[in-house]
């Protein structure tokens, strides 16, 4: 029978050389035993992103659809969608929402209710890990108050980032390019952001999907993720009643799953301006389809959380030693960039010998483990102490 465990530890940060210590006790002395980082968080095989642009109020129905609760769209209570953390614990799906701040046409705050989300909604979104993504202080660069107020492209990114941070304490590190305008990726890179997202713009940067896949299966691959700036392409759907278009997106999701494995990890991304009351049913059908084929192999997450997992893998300091039947793993977070929010890591224990017990101690939010799957998650999210974005 599978052995699962979960534990929590909220000790304060210290200057100890190891922030987290993992002790793995084997049933007998192994010939060898090491640890490695899972290719994808929770040891999933593929990754799906949903991005909703322009902060529509409909996003507040996507939240309960994904994570459980009553959707304002139809007053129906939904159970939410989950995958497991590989250790027997459910994790809710998450999605990103592109945030604009001011209207080009009357210079009023967009997050003011009605057809748009509110600032209170923004706090709710961040608390649920349904992350806001910077989409421009003004949506358009060529008209209205963008011009009247002498905005520049740098200001349009920077002021949106600062607004989101001031309202929520969250530092957006992904910029959704509005209107497919050119050169936003250069600006986002100069402002120390991680990536941009667009339907078609590449700005001359490396992009995912790459040239071999952008016109075929539309799939990115985790092997392309690095510390360098990258544009993440996406397919787009606004008319969720267009059954041909939606079926094509379903086919891409299935293609992603089928092309992925324990060693190959594909990424598929869909953008939308949200559903409306006339096509909510078909939007839900698309989301339900993803769940129906996932078989707990797809990580449904946000672009920023995905990129930060890989950032942690690049920068986490890990040391380990095997003594008798005990493998001790020490993790130091000293080199994790200060604006990194999701400091979670998934480790795999590599040994032919069975595990009798696992313990995880140190400065973290919580951990989970499976002795049978030989998998360990350390959860460590930073929520305070960020510097104001550039």
Residues 6+ apart with CB under 8 A from 188: 157, 175, 195, 196, 229
Predicted pLDDT at 217: 96
List own/partner pairs for 151-158 with CB under 8 A and 24 or more apart: 153/183, 153/184, 153/187, 154/187, 154/190, 154/191, 156/187, 157/184, 157/187, 157/188, 157/191, 157/193, 158/191, 158/389, 158/390
pLDDT of residue 17: 52
Helices (H) and strands (E) in the chain, counts: 8, 23
Contact 214, 231 (CB under 8 A): no
Q: What is the pLDDT of residues 205-225, one digit of tens each?
A: 999 999 999 999 999 999 999
CATH topology of domain 45-308: TIM Barrel (3.20.20)
CA distance 244 to 247: 5
- Answering whether pTM is above 0.85, one says yes
pLDDT tens per residue across span 271-308: 999 999 999 999 999 999 999 999 999 999 999 999 99
The token pair that represents 284 in the structure block? 């839900």
Confidence grade of residue 18 (pLDDT, cut at 50, 70, 90): confident
In the block, which residue shows the tokens 């705050």? 109
pLDDT score of 3 more than 80: no
- CA nearest 111: which of 163, 66, 34, 159? 163
Mean pLDDT confidence for 1-22:
52
Residues sharing a CB contact under 8 Å with residue 371, sequence separation 6 or more, in sequence order: 3, 5, 354, 355, 356, 357, 358
Q: For residues 262-276, give the mean pLDDT.
A: 98
CB count in 10 Å sphere of residue 147: 13
Please, what is the average pLDDT of the chain? 95
174 strand-pairing partners:
195
Q: What integer pLDDT is reported at residue 376 of this predicted model?
A: 98
Interval 110-155: pLDDT, tens? 999 999 999 999 999 999 999 999 999 999 998 999 999 999 999 9
- The reported pLDDT for the residue numbered 6 is 46
Specify the length of the chain in residues. 390
What residue spans define the domains of the chain?
45-308
What are φ and ψ of residue 375, in 5° steps?
-130, 140
* pLDDT score recorded for residue 159: 98
Angle 365-369-372 from CA coordinates, rounded to 5°: 180
């Amino acid at each position: 029978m599978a052995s699962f465990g979960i534990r929590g530890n909220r000790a304060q940060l210290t200057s100890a050389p190891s922030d987290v210590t993992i002790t793995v006790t084997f049933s007998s002395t192994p010939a060898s035993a090491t640890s490695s980082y899972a290719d994808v968080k929770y040891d999933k095989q593929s990754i799906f992103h949903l991005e909703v642009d322009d902060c529509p109020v409909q996003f507040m129905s996507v939240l309960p659809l994904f994570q459980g609760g009553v959707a304002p769209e139809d007053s129906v209570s939904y159970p939410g969608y989950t995958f497991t953390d590989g250790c027997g614990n459910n994790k809710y799906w998450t999605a990103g929402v592109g945030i604009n701040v001011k209207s080009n046409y009357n210079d009023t705050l967009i997050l003011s209710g009605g057809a748009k989300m509110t600032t209170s909604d923004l706090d709710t979104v961040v608390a649920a890990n349904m992350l806001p993504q910077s989409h421009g202080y003004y949506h358009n660069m060529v008209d209205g108050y963008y011009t009247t107020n002498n905005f520049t492209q740098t200001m349009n990114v920077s002021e949106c980032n600062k607004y989101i941070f001031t309202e929520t304490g969250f530092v957006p590190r992904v910029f959704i390019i509005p209107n497919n305008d050119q050169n936003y990726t250069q600006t986002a890179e100069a402002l120390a952001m991680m990536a941009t997202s667009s339907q078609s713009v590449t700005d001359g940067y490396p992009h995912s999907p790459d040239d071999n896949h952008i016109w075929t299966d539309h799939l990115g691959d985790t092997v392309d993720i690095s510390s360098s700036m990258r544009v993440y392409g996406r397919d787009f759907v606004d008319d969720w009643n267009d059954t041909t278009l939606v079926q094509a997106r379903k086919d891409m999701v299935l293609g992603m799953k089928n092309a992925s494995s324990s060693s190959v990890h594909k990424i598929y991304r869909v953008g939308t301006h949200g559903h409306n009351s006339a096509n909510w049913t078909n939007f839900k059908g698309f989301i339900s389809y993803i769940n129906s084929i996932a078989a707990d192999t797809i990580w449904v997450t946000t672009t920023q959380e995905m990129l930060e997992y890989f950032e942690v893998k690049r920068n986490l300091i890990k040391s380990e030693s095997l003594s008798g039947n005990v493998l001790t793993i020490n993790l130091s977070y000293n080199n994790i960039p200060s604006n990194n929010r999701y400091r979670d890591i998934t480790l795999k224990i590599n040994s032919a010998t069975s595990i009798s017990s696992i313990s995880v101690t140190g400065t973290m939010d919580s951990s989970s483990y499976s002795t049978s799957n030989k998998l360990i998650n350390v959860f460590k999210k930073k929520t305070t102490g960020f510097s104001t974005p550039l």
